[in-house]
């Protein structure tokens, strides 16, 4: 065990001995326990890049061992407080002490009501019942931590699904294991990979970048499945002629992704179906871009890769734009990419605050006669507009679905959450006002439109020519990528 862990254990023992000798009160002991269990500083991605693998492993082991010592200290302190309360109660109520000596210490819950103890002993039973959930949680955390500790010592990384299969007798479902791992991430201040575990990934990437020397533009339209290891999610900037000159049969020479020097956009797509459509239409041949999807809400791998892509391409001013459905779930996905508010702290370092909203928006969905839609179009072009007034028609020009009660609750929560997130944020008043206004338009119009509606309506041809949309004659193969490119070239994103 490391010297730091021994030092922490010695300090815990000294505090316990001092409290017993000086008659420490329960309140002061709780204060000591809260101070000892304070979570350490989180190891960010910048710390990881500037540290060696050996030092990171040693730090993870040290924090795990310190956590176990803290748990032992908490249990021992609780048992000491329990014994002290029982001793004081026995001195004040000798009859209850005699009953407990006859029936045993744990028999109080099995007695008949007339023989139940009273006074401080009854409070002891109540406090025990209150401590049971906490003790169960500590047991679950120690069970998971035992496997993660072995992984770190052996240099092995497994998935959260593997952890569940190993502990299937002790956990009711996979979600319980995931929550325990999230709690350990928060309390230890370590990313999951440093704990020897990674979440199961979903999502794909494609376009103008290479992976281990393989040009993803020549990959299938399904895209490359996202890797899970932090090293394979790294991104470097390399001229395209250098990428093509590296032999494909030597992937060990390259680690992670390589951006081509002609890249112009990074496009985040909500759905794999839309991602597949854009890959099938080879949008990257029209405009050099990277396509990324997480099949819905972003995973840790998707957030990390997007953050690395953005950080690498920041110097050349490559914008990051998003294509999501016109519904509250699409807004939630935008929020996760832009300002991650999840419980996993490691994801918050991977948020891309400069993310811009390409579509779908009110100007793409609602009728052009709406005053609010006209204001939305002017704002997306960077023209200042006052607060829009007037009536938003509840008839969309694309196939739509009406809001449900759940959608009403979601959009209200999103607007309130955006107000809290952007308070004091330096995103700029214009960007905040435009996003808020778009959310309010959606809340008032109460319609939902999916991205697939843009290219699926070509069969029936109901979509008449508009300033921002398609004509029914233009909806042929490649028209969806044409629409996306048109929005990119016009900078029609907010």
Please state, for a pLDDT cut of 70, what percent of the chain lies above it.
Answer: 64
Token pair, residue 386, equals 């006052």
Count CA within 13 A, CB hemisphere, residue 276. 8
Tell me: pLDDT of 240 over 50.
yes
Confidence of residue 78 (pLDDT cuts 50, 70, 90): confident
- Total tally of structural domains belonging to the chain: 3
Q: Which of 38-42, 118-122, 299-303, 471-475 has the highest mean pLDDT?
A: 299-303
pLDDT over 70 at 305, yes or no: yes
> Coil, helix or strand for 198?
strand
Q: Are residues 333 and 318 in the same domain?
A: no
Q: What is the pLDDT of residue 183?
A: 93
The alpha carbon of 439 is separated from its chain's Cα centroid by a whole number of angstroms, namely: 22
DSSP letters along 121-144, please? HHHHHHHHHHHHHHHHHHHHHHHH
Instruction: Tell me the torsion sign for CA atoms 391, 396, 402, 406.
Output: negative
Residues 158 and 213 in one domain: no
Q: Is the separation of the CB atoms in 197 and 157 below 8 Å?
A: yes
Residues 348 and 474 in one domain: yes
Q: In this structure, are 383 and 442 located in the same domain?
A: yes
Sorting pLDDT into bands at 50, 70 and 90, what band is 164?
A: very high
List the helix and strand counts (H, then E) for the chain: 20, 14
Angle between helices 120-154 and 174-188 (to 10 degrees): 90
Q: Are residues 376 and 311 in the same domain?
A: no
Range of the domain at 280: 201-323
- 332 and 429 fall within a common domain: yes
What is the CATH number for 288? 3.40.1360.10
Report, as residue numbers or ranges, the catalytic residues: 165
Question: For residue 371, is pLDDT > 50?
Answer: no
Angle at 72 between CA 68 and CA 75, to 5 degrees: 140
From 277, 307, 323, give the residue that closes a domain: 323
What is the model's pLDDT at position 330?
A: 93
The residue among 268 and 13 whose pLDDT is bigger is 268
Residue scoring higher pLDDT (354 or 433): 354
Binned at pLDDT 50, 70 and 90, residue 333 comes out as: very high
- Do 191 and 211 have their domain in common? no
Q: What pLDDT is attached to residue 469?
A: 44
Pairing of strands 265-269, 401-402: unpaired
The last residue of one of the domains, among 270, 288, 323, is: 323
Which range scores top for mean pLDDT: 96-100, 109-113, 157-161, 425-429?
157-161
Domain boundary among 289, 323, 357: 323
Regarding whether 179 and 37 lie in a shared domain, the answer is: yes
What does the pLDDT look like over 376-413, one tens digit per residue? Answer: 444 444 433 333 333 444 455 677 888 999 999 999 99
Q: Is the pLDDT reported for residue 229 higher than 70?
A: yes
HEC string for 299-365:
CHHHHHHHHHHHHHHHHHCCCEEEECCECHHHHHHHHHHHCCCCCCHHHHCCCCCCCEEEECCHHHH
Q: Are residues 39 and 180 in the same domain?
A: yes
pLDDT tens for 174-204 read 999 999 999 999 999 999 989 999 887 789 9
Same domain, 362 and 455: yes
87 and 118 both lie in a single domain: yes
Q: Are residues 385 and 280 in the same domain?
A: no
């Amino acid at each position: 065990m490391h010297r730091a862990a021994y030092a922490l254990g010695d300090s815990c023992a000294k505090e316990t001995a001092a409290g017993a000798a000086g008659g420490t009160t329960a309140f002061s002991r709780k204060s000591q326990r809260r101070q000892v269990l304070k979570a350490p500083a989180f190891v960010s991605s910048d710390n990881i890049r500037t540290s060696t693998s050996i030092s990171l492993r040693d730090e993870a082991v040290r924090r795990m061992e310190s956590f176990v010592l803290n748990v032992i200290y908490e249990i021992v302190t609780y048992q000491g407080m329990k014994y002290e309360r029982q001793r004081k109660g026995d001195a004040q109520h000798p009859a209850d002490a005699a009953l407990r000596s006859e029936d045993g210490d744990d028999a109080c819950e099995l007695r008949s009501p007339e023989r139940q103890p009273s006074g401080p002993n009854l409070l002891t039973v109540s406090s025990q019942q209150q401590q049971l959930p906490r003790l169960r949680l500590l047991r679950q955390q120690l069970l998971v931590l035992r496997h993660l500790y072995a992984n770190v010592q052996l240099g092995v990384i497994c998935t959260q699904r593997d952890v569940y299969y190993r502990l299937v007798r002790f956990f009711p479902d996979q979600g319980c294991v995931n929550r325990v791992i999230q709690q350990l991430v928060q309390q230890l201040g370590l990313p999951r990979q440093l704990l020897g575990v990674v979440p199961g990934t979903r999502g794909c990437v494609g376009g103008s970048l290479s992976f281990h020397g393989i040009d993803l533009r020549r990959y299938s339209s399904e895209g490359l499945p996202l890797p899970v290891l932090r090293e394979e999610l790294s991104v470097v900037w390399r001229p395209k002629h250098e990428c093509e000159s590296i032999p494909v049969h030597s992937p060990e020479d390259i680690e992670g992704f390589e951006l081509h020097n002609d890249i112009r956009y990074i496009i985040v797509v909500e759905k794999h179906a839309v991602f597949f459509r854009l890959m099938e239409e080879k949008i990257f041949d029209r405009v050099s871009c990277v396509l990324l999807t997480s099949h819905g809400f972003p995973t840790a791998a998707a957030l990390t890769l997007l953050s690395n892509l953005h950080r690498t391409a920041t110097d050349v001013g490559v914008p990051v734009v998003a294509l999501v459905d016109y519904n509250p779930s699409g807004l939630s996905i935008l929020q996760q990419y832009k300002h991650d508010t999840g419980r996993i702290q490691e994801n918050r370092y991977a948020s891309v605050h400069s993310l811009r909203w390409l579509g779908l928006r009110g100007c793409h969905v609602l009728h052009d006669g709406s005053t609010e839609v006209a204001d939305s179009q002017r704002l997306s072009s960077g023209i200042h507009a006052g607060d829009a007034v007037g009536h938003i028609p509840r008839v969309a020009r694309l196939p739509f679905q009406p809001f449900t009660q759940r959608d009403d609750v979601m959009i209200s929560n999103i607007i309130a959450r955006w107000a809290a997130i952007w308070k004091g944020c330096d995103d700029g008043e214009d960007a905040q006002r435009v996003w808020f206004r778009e959310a309010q338009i959606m809340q008032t119009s109460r319609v939902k439109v999916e991205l697939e509606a843009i290219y699926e309506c070509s069969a029936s041809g109901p979509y008449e020519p508009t300033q921002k949309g398609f004509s029914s004659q233009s909806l042929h193969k490649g028209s969806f990528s044409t629409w996306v490119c048109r929005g990119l070239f016009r900078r029609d994103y907010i």
